[in-house]
A and B are shown apart, each in its own frame.
Chain A
C-alpha cells in the first residue's frame, strides 16, 4: 500500500514568488492536514481538509491557502513568498474523522532566497 506522497521534495524560490505544493494521501483516506516545520517554531498546524471542505485553519496569514480535490489529493499554495516561509512542509493523511493516527509524507523542503 503506497504511503503519503508529497511533491516536489525540494524547492527553491525567490522572495515574492508563489509556490504550490502537492500531497496525495493514502488510498482510501479522505482527510488531509498540512504542517509547517521550522527550527524556531517547531511543527505548526496550517489547515485540515475532509471531503474537499476545510475544517480547521491554523494561525497563518492569508498568503497560505489550500484545497482538496474530489480524489482527496490536496494542494497548498503560498503567495508572495517571504524568507521566513523557508521550512519543511508536511502533509498528513487520515482515514477519516475517527480515532486513528495520521500518516505523514516525507515533506517538501522549501527554501526562499
Chain B
C-alpha cells in the first residue's frame, strides 16, 4: 500500500519570505513523487516530479522540492513567496508497480499575505 501525509492543513507566509510545504510518503520500492496545485474550482496543475536522479527537483513558477529517501520526505519549497501562490497544494506518490494510480495527501492550503 502507498500513502502520503501532509501534516499541515494550512501554511501562512508573508510575501517575499521563503515557504515550505511538507510531505512524507510510504511506498514499497522506489517512489515516483509529484506536487500539484489547485486553484478554486479548477483541476490540478502539475508543478514538479521526482522520478530518479538529483534529489533537488526544480519545477514551474519557481518551486522546487527536495527528495530525502532516509526521511521519506518530499517537501515543496520556494525562496520568495508571491500572493498569487496562495492555493491548495497536493503531494502525490505512485509506486513502481501501481500503474498510473496516484495516492494523494490531504492537501495543504498556502496563504501568502501581502
Contact = CB atoms under 8 A, between A and B. Distances in A.
A33 B102 contact: yes
Contacts of B102: 33, 35, 45, 92, 102
Interface string A83-113: 0000000101010010101111111010000
A55 interface: yes
Contact of B90 (A4, A43, A56, A99): A43
A contacts with B: majority SS: strand
Contacts of B44: 90, 92, 104
Nearest to B42: A106
Binding site of B, secondary structure by majority: helix, strand, loop or mixed?
loop
Given A90-B43, A102-B46, A33 B100 contact: yes
A108 B105 CA distance: 21
A56 B46 contact: no
B100 A107 contact: no
Interface string A9-27: 0000000000000000000
Contacts of A45: 101-103
Interface string A32-47: 0101000000110100
B99 A99 contact: no
Nearest to B101: A56
B100 A99 contact: no
B99 A56 contact: yes
A42 B100 contact: no
B103 A42 contact: no
Interface string A54-69: 0110100000000000
Interface of B: 32, 34, 36, 41-46, 49, 51-52, 90, 98-107
What 4 pairs between A and B have smallest CB-CB spacing?
A104-B43, A43-B104, A104-B44, A106-B43
12 contacts: A33-B101, A42-B105, A42-B106, A56-B98, A56-B99, A92-B102, A94-B100, A99-B52, A101-B49, A102-B46, A104-B43, A104-B45
